[in-house]
Amino acid sequence: MADIHPFRAFRYDPGRVALEQVVTQPYDKITPEMRERYYRASPYNLTRIILGRKEENDNPANNVYSRAANYFRNWKEQQVLHQDEEPSIYAYSQRFRASGATASARELERRGFIALGRIEDYSAGIVFRHEQTLAKPKADRLELLRATRAHFGQIFMLYEGIGNVESLLQTDREPEISVTDEYGVEHRVWRVFDPGKIGSLQRALKDKRLIIADGHHRYETALNYRNERRAAEGDRQNSMGKAPYEFVMMTFIDMNSPGLLILPTHRVVHSLSSFSEEDFRKAARSYFDVDEIDRPVDGAHASTILREGGRAGTALLAVTASRSFLLHHPNPNAGKIFEGLSLRQQDLDVVQLHKCLLENVLGLSEESIRNQQNLSYLRDADEALAQVRNGGADIAFLINPCRISQVRDVAFAGEVMPQKSTDFYPKLLSGLTIYAVE
């Protein structure tokens, strides 16, 4: 079912640039502060292409997209980016500790490989999503793809295996790429160009269904671009579906890998027209058992409370400037607010949070949640708590991470979760390999 292929990647020449100074986190994880740091790091930093600065005199002929195309073309001409001679698949290893973990925490390794994957309509039952997408980010990525005709980051794809693919990628060779990112994650990449090994990988994946872990907007952008090119060129360039735009760069990870880690994404609600801690507690009791915690909590304590509370089912921690509440054992009589959602979706802590608390207790609309009008998302629990306690927010909701089995079951059922339901850690670096569709 999954159709994968080797490709001749463009890669940064480590003899011309320091890799730590040019590769980046995915575009949607780059804050304004990170972008400025990336810009200062190197004139060849990939941010200039994937998330360039707007300028005062931008116009249809000179803008972030046209400048991105110029950078890509110039860097190839200068041999800062060079193309591999043989079509290859790229084994990819990430060694890391969980975000926020202590130095003594066990080191993990997530292993997979980078290859081209055929772009499939969701209706084909081969590629599955687990989150909704928004029109604005897709429009932005489509303009960039039209201008550069290249993919600079990989779609993070999950497949269900038994470890046999990882064993095919074992090697004693030194990696072609070795770089440590700003979070201390060590990224290593090896080229795999032996036809026999590539064939084994293709056969191992051919009966697999794929779930998009990260990169929903970029996948659907590639799908839209494929459809544009098909309509413009017909069968002239697409004999047997082999045109370059029929494929996108993907990283394939076994969802049963011991190195697969999902972190929680906490919600912080701010700028409400009115908010009362006591009114919140009373209203929340219509949906959950509510226990007040009698001492201040920090991020580590919150994680322990949630982990213990989550053993019996849903557990949410609501923290205001001066009070903390553990919400657990959802009220079965509240079922009417989940109309249209399957039992799989209703069992998700994040769905309970959105439908019961954000929408019904605090009165946030689905549209305002999508547009993040009164809502921000944070990975770090201590940062979320600090925003509440320094008066920058009304209430923070801390949650347990989603389980990979929940992601699998929801996705394969053709359903979706709310935005920011999963945070797969660490992120795949952009700029390790680049796929040009021309």
The domain spans of the chain are 4-261+425-436, 265-400
Tokens 């090994």 -> residue: 197
Q: Which residues pair with 251 in a beta bridge?
A: 114, 156
Strands 155-159 and 210-214: antiparallel
The pTM of this model reads 0.93
What pLDDT does residue 235 have?
Answer: 60
> What does the alpha-carbon distance between residue 269 and residue 248 come to, in Å, rounded to a whole number?
36
Looking at the structure, give the CATH architecture of the domain made up of residues 4-261+425-436. Alpha-Beta Complex (3.90)
pLDDT averaged per 10 residues, the chain (length 438): 95 97 96 97 98 94 96 98 97 85 70 97 97 91 98 97 81 94 97 94 94 97 97 70 95 94 96 95 96 91 94 95 95 82 94 96 92 92 95 97 96 94 96 96
Identify the pLDDT of residue 164: 79
- What's the CA gap between 37 and 21, in Å, rounded? 10
Residue whose C-alpha is closest to residue 428's, from 35, 23, 51, 11: 23
**Residue whose C-alpha is closest to residue 259's, from 103, 52, 109, 420:** 109
CB-side neighbour CA atoms (13 Å) of 213? 26
Cα gap 152→50, rounded to integer Å: 8
Helix (H, G, I), strand (E, B) or coil at 116: strand
Q: What integer pLDDT is reported at residue 166 of this predicted model?
A: 80
The pair of structure tokens assigned to 234 is 């017909």
- Provide CB contacts within 8 A for 111, sequence distance 6+: 91, 92, 93, 94, 166, 169, 253, 257, 259
Count, residues in the chain: 438
Say yes or no: domain 265-400 is CATH 3.30.1760: yes
Q: How many CB atoms lie within 10 A of CB 11?
A: 20
Record the tokens describing residue 341, joined without a space.
């959602």
Sheet holding 375-378, edge to edge: 289-293, 324-328, 315-319, 395-399, 266-269, 375-378
d(C-alpha 351, C-alpha 357), whole Å: 10
